[in-house]
């Protein structure tokens, strides 16, 4: 019997980074990157990214056990080490504006890369040393 066609998966709705100090991460992601908080607790900070996706910042170790909720159980999850996430920036002018903001706020730009398709990235580190990339269109065939 042949497999039935799969319904398409549309996009990533949420992704997570694991942090050692949520208040320190809050200051970075809200005060430096300007994300809007959606939910805050001792376990996590959820922020809106561009009004169409959610970044979950979890207190490291707080997600190692299942979380009972009124609607069901959230399975345990976690991450260790340096993680990576990339945020879309519309064009090089906006990327340069971000570079200026980072300079004003004392956030070092670790690297700047020009990609063969024409995109450009800048890389910074968050307080947990996660690699944070801001990227213009022209890296991937789909972006």
The token pair at 50 is 């561009």
Nearest alpha carbon to residue 137 among 100, 93, 101, 99 = 93
* Res 101: pLDDT: 97
121-142 per-position pLDDT tens digit: 999 999 999 999 999 999 999 9
Inter-CA distances, 44 with 57, 62, 71, Å: 5, 8, 18
Q: Are 26 and 134 in contact (CB under 8 A)?
A: no
* Res 2: pLDDT: 79
Q: For tokens 């004392």, what's the residue? A: 106
Q: Which domains does the chain have, with CATH numbers?
A: 11-62 (3.30.720.120), 82-143 (3.10.180.10)
The model's pTM is: 0.93
Regions of the chain with pLDDT less than 70: none
* Res 106: pLDDT: 97
Q: Which helix (H) or strand (E) holds 104?
A: helix 92-104
């Amino acid at each position: 019997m042949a497999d039935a066609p799969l319904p398409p998966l549309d996009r990533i709705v949420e992704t997570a980074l694991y942090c050692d100090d949520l208040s320190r991460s809050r200051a970075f992601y809200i005060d430096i990157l300007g994300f809007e908080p959606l939910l805050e607790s001792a376990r996590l900070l959820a922020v809106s990214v561009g009004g169409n996706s959610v970044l979950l910042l979890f207190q490291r170790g707080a997600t190692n056990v299942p979380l009972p909720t009124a609607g069901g159980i959230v399975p345990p999850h976690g991450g260790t080490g340096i993680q990576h996430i990339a945020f879309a920036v519309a064009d090089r002018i906006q990327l340069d504006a971000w570079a200026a903001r980072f300079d004003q706020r004392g956030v070092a730009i670790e690297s700047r890369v020009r990609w063969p398709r024409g995109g450009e990235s800048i890389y910074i580190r968050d307080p947990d040393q996660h690699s944070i990339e801001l990227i213009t269109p022209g890296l991937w065939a789909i972006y």
